Amino acid sequence: MTQPSTLIIGAGPAGLTAGLELLRAGYPQVTILEATDAIGGISKTVNYKGNRIDIGGHRFFSKSDWVMDWWRDVLPVAKPTGSNGDARLAYQGQQRLLGGHEATASEADDAVMLIRNRQSRIYFGGNFFDYPLKPSMDLVAKMGPLRCLQFAGSYVVAAARPISPEQTLEDFFVNRFGRQLYLQFFKDYTEKVWGVPCRDISADWGAQRIKSLSIGSAAKQALKKIVTGKTDAQHTSLIESFLYPKYGPGQMWETAATEFERRGGRLLRGWMVDEIHRQERRVERVVARGTDGQRQSFDASAVVSTMPIRELAQALRPAADAPALSIASGLEYRDFITVGLLYRRMSPKVSGKARCVTDNWIYIQEPGVKVGRVQVFNNWSPYMVADPDTVWLGLEFFARDDDALWAMNDEALKALAVREMQQLGMADEAELLDATVLRMPKAYPGYFGAAFQRFDELRGWLDGLDNLFLCGRNGMHRYNNQDHSMLSARLAAQAIMNGGVGREAIWSVNIDDDYHEEAPTKN
């Protein structure tokens, strides 16, 4: 009898998690096809002259104990320098004690995760603001009492007469922050990220990414903290610390890939899937093209796909039904550009006497610039930077693969990034040492457009392929974090081992979770 075999498309967090879960359970013959030479997908780490780039910033935290344990099984946690007892990790607004048996490694070891402090702020009008915004004397001092009263009045109106039904992202923001705060701090930045008006973006994006955040809940937290010194058990503060691989997120997935191969899995880099052959409602084989142009066919009893759904549907032979193919072909994406800038120091205007600010990343709300966020890689891990006496920044730009920004050559993008840092007063060009450009296509699945409104039809058709399992961010066309992608992959692996039973649970991940910047906790 022929042993069952599983083919996984993509060696990102979802693909590697699914592969390892199958092998750890004793499931035989698992192959991963990765289109590029790199491991980790958008969670990879890029090494430029010893300076490492994390594409988009990946904090390692999860409300799922299973995910936290999975990560620690791959890379142990280093006990903080100078700590003689247990380490405490604050993530998802929860306090978690990492006992001596959980944080036993040394920071001197290479294959470890570090406990890192979290700080993110908004940069607007030459000032830094809390992210997300919260009522405070600092906000009043920087925006002025009159403007803050306008914010408060606008929020009261929104709370008294919320928009219903809540259909667009603009509705979502206005209901939670009021129209004035939305216009001041959310509209321009969000439209820079997505390239379309907030009124054209589904409210689903907000529900999945920032549903627990509102000015009302922030005010409630601030008042309760003043009166009792405690926060509400149902809405906790932002993540204060998180786990992070010593050499960036790609280290986690490169280590996982090594274990996958050690356990007998086959990982083939540089093989792009472009044909998926099916017989009625069952996938029978996958055809991929290597970097040298050669083609190879792979038989499989089950296929796990993390590739973009648009390309997946277009690769089916015979073709998907006309309505499903039309929807898939119309799905939209946002592409991502990181310009790495190496400086001697940041401007004293923003960092004072220090070489750089203390933020992990900074949201740029200033009008007149294209940059959306600035990563400070020194503060993710000091080992991301070759020379500790330099500042390694990642300027993030959002684009489409057919727009003018994406079409700019690398030198033009470097010049743009340097110019905007000077314009923002964050770093002087005279302090620049080096620069590089990194492009990541299809970084964000789009929650807009006519095709997205019919996505459930496409999902239903694809779920009708009995042995095809979709997981991960692009695999599900869902704005998942790493942990959501891993949980979807775990459920896909379980469904494969159960003969397809339970596959509907994959789509429940990241629907009702409070996973992101804020989450409920227990007393």
411 and 343, same structural domain?
Answer: yes
Nearest alpha carbon to residue 455 among 334, 323, 335, 333: 323
Together in a domain, 356 and 341: yes
CATH of residue 482: 3.50.50.60
Q: Are the C-beta atoms of residues 281 and 464 closer than 8 Å to each other?
A: yes
Whether residue 161 lies inside any domain: the answer is yes
Report the pLDDT value the prediction gives residue 99, as an integer from 0 to 100: 56
Three-state DSSP state, 175: helix
Q: Would the CA dihedral through 324, 330, 331, 335 be positive or negative?
A: positive
Q: Are 372 and 363 in contact (CB under 8 A)?
A: yes
Residue 215 and residue 361 share a domain = no
Query: Both 388 and 319 in a single domain?
Result: no
Would you tell me how many other CB atoms lie within 10 Å of the CB of residue 73? Answer: 12
Q: Across the chain, which distance is largest between two alpha carbons, in Å?
A: 77
Q: What is the mean pLDDT of the chain?
A: 90
Rounded distance between C-alpha atoms, residue 305 and residue 489, angstroms: 10
Distance from C-alpha of 399 to C-alpha of 96, rounded to nearest angstrom: 38
* pLDDT tens, position by position, 301-350: 999 999 999 999 999 999 999 999 999 999 999 999 999 999 999 999 99
Residues 310 and 458 in one domain: yes
Residue 91, SS3?
strand
484 plus 504 within the same structural domain: yes
- 151 with 198, same domain: the answer is yes
Judgement on whether residues 434 and 367 belong to the same structural domain of the protein: yes
Structural domain boundaries enclosing 458? 6-42+251-331+448-508
Is 68 part of any domain? no
Considering the domain architecture, whether residues 323 and 458 belong to the same structural domain is answered as yes
Task: Specify if 241 maps to a domain.
Answer: no
Joined tokens for residue 244: 């992070």
Q: Is there a single domain that holds both residue 326 and residue 339?
A: no
What's the token pair of residue 39? 């491991």
104: CB partners within 8 A, 6+ apart: 76, 77, 79
The reply to whether 54 falls in a domain is no
In a domain, 467, yes or no: yes
- A 10 A CB-CB count for 301 gives 16
Enumerate the H helices of 25-144 as residue ranges.
65-74, 137-143
The tokens for 496 are: 């494969």
Tokens of 12: 């990102």
**What is the pLDDT, as a whole number, of residue 241?**
86
Task: Assess if residue 327 is contained within a domain.
Answer: yes
Closest CA to 207 of 244, 175, 160: 175
pLDDT of residue 420: 99
String of DSSP letters for 450-519: HHHHTHHHHHHHHHTSTTEEE-SHHHHTS---HHHHHHHHHHHHHHHHTTTTTGGGGGGTTTS---SS--
Q: What per-residue confidence (pLDDT) applies to 131?
A: 85
- The pLDDT of residue 230: 53
Low-confidence stretches of the chain (pLDDT < 70) are 1-3, 82-102, 208-239, 511-523
Tell me the CATH number at 363: 3.90.660.20
Does 246 reside within a domain? no
User: Does residue 367 form part of some domain?
Assistant: yes
Contacts of 465 (CB under 8 A, 6+ apart): 278, 281, 282, 283
Which of 423, 445, 467 is where one domain is finished? 445
Residue with tokens 């004397």, as numbered in its chain? 137
The total domain count for the chain is: 3
Using DSSP, state whether 230 is helix, strand or coil: coil
Residues 189 and 213 in one domain: yes
- Gap between the Cα atoms of 467 and 307, Å rounded: 16
Of 428, 445, 462, the one marking the end of a domain is: 445
pLDDT at 312: 98
Residues 6+ apart with CB under 8 A from 157: 178, 179
Q: Looking at residue 233, what is its pLDDT?
A: 39
Same domain, 327 and 337: no
Q: How far apart are CA 23 and CA 95, in angstroms?
A: 33
**What is the model's pLDDT at position 103?**
73
CA atoms within 13 A on the CB side of 9: 32
